[in-house]
Amino acid sequence: MTPFSYRVATSTTEALAAAPDSSERFLGGGTNLVDLLRQNVEQADALVDVSRLPASIDETEDGGLWVGAAVRNTALAADPRIGARYPMLSRALLSGASAQIRNMATVGGNLLQRTRCAYFYDVPGARCNKRVSGAGCDAIGGFTRYHAILGASEQCAATHPSDMCVALMALDTVVHLDDGNEKRRLPLSEFYRLPGNTPHFETELRTGELVTGIQIPSCRAAVNSTYRKVRDRSSYAFALVSVAAAMRVENGVIADIRLALGGVAPRPWRAAKAEAALAGRAPSQEAFRNAADAELADARALGGNAFKIPLARSTIAAVLGELAGDAA
């Protein structure tokens, strides 16, 4: 860890007041950034603590919810509106980390947490293109049990670790950004990048830009939604495969379907192909498996993660089957 300065911001204006400095970093709950600093994966000269910025959860005009970036994971998961309207989000949050970490972690920080690829963290011992652009990747050819089967590149196959973001991705969530001069809104689907040749760029966030909050649109289908996380132990482990799904069945056919995957790609993965395959169809195990196959047709394994392809297929089918209930 390198020495850094630290200040607390109590408003967005105050947070953005400092001179633009590329090594100044915003600090949320610190549940990932502090580890990254301690292990010298990242360095910062200055930290601006934004965990005390307004942390409200408010109704929006379209019937959705606005969630301040400083809202803690625990608070968001416990909000009765989340539980009633977006149960998949509440379940995703509660399946992440541990109670103590969720008490600290913020929504803004969760969006920006970085991969848990062990090679990414092994600063002295391993090469990593995400850490040092163009350095090479020691993960590929090494242990790839936790790595991506979708959206990876030859430079990087690290997975995005968040559970919350998988549910948010399925819900068409919009991220609100502010750099002091301009306020922007980006759909989460456009917020994250795929690694390509530049795995060190993970999002469209600009230097000095702050995540101020997220907007979750209203979604009737989400009332019937869930999140299932498959992992190497029952708690406190990252997803091998996770599935966030919402389904509304009308007149015997799927009227609305939302499906996103975690643990399989460098970003929370919206399963658009599977959704397209299901829209307007009658729910059935066969339809679910065909939809999963459509999504996974492009999946590529690296060796250690080959099991994720059949695992994703059967988990998608199991989750959709659960949501369809008697309709399937």
Under the binding rule (CB under 8 A), the answer on residue 297 touching other proteins is no
Under the binding rule (CB under 8 A), the answer on residue 141 touching other proteins is yes
Under the binding rule (CB under 8 A), the answer on residue 289 touching other proteins is no
Tell me the C-alpha distance between 98 and 109, whole Å.
16
**Strand partners for 251:** none
Tell me the C-alpha distance between 223 and 326, whole Å.
17
Nearer to other proteins, 67 or 139 (CB): 139
Tell me the C-alpha distance between 167 and 227, whole Å.
7
Contact 149, 185 (CB under 8 A): no
Under the binding rule (CB under 8 A), the answer on residue 326 touching other proteins is no
Tell me the C-alpha distance between 98 and 90, whole Å.
14
Q: Parallel, antiparallel, or unpaired: how do β-strands 253-262 and 269-270 relate?
A: antiparallel
Contact positions with other proteins (CB under 8 A) in 77-136: 116, 118-119, 121-126
Contact positions with other proteins (CB under 8 A) in 39-78: 40
Under the binding rule (CB under 8 A), the answer on residue 4 touching other proteins is no
End-to-end CA distance of the chain: 54
Nearer to other proteins, 219 or 319 (CB): 319
Under the binding rule (CB under 8 A), the answer on residue 288 touching other proteins is no
Q: Which two tokens stand for residue 14?
A: 């105050």
Nearer to other proteins, 100 or 207 (CB): 100
Residue 312: what are its φ and ψ, rounded to 5°?
A: -65, -45
Q: For the packed helices 308-324 and 285-296, what is the interaxial angle rounded to 10 degrees?
A: 140
Q: Least distance from C-beta 118 to other proteins, angstroms?
A: 5
Under the binding rule (CB under 8 A), the answer on residue 188 touching other proteins is no
Q: Least distance from C-beta 132 to other proteins, angstroms?
A: 14
Under the binding rule (CB under 8 A), the answer on residue 303 touching other proteins is no
Q: Collapsing DSSP states into helix, strand and coil, what is residue 252?
A: coil
Nearer to other proteins, 22 or 234 (CB): 234
Tell me the C-alpha distance between 261 and 235, whole Å.
18
**Tally of CA atoms within 13 A in the half-sphere of 156 that contains its CB:** 31
Among 173, 209, 315, 324, binds other proteins (CB under 8 A): 315
Under the binding rule (CB under 8 A), the answer on residue 6 touching other proteins is no
Cα–Cα nearest to 3, from 45, 47, 42:
45
Under the binding rule (CB under 8 A), the answer on residue 1 touching other proteins is yes
Nearer to other proteins, 12 or 73 (CB): 73
Region binding other proteins by CB under 8 A among candidate stretches 6-14, 216-224, 225-233, 248-256: 225-233
Among 187, 235, 300, 325, binds other proteins (CB under 8 A): 235
Q: Collapsing DSSP states into helix, strand and coil, what is residue 150?
A: coil
Cα–Cα nearest to 227, from 75, 95, 106, 102:
95
Under the binding rule (CB under 8 A), the answer on residue 240 touching other proteins is yes
Under the binding rule (CB under 8 A), the answer on residue 234 touching other proteins is yes
DSSP at 257: E
Region binding other proteins by CB under 8 A among candidate stretches 140-148, 219-227, 273-281, 284-292: 140-148
For other proteins, the binding residues (CB under 8 A) are 1-3, 38, 40, 116, 118-119, 121-126, 138, 141-143, 145, 230, 232-238, 240-241, 307, 310-311, 314-315, 317-318
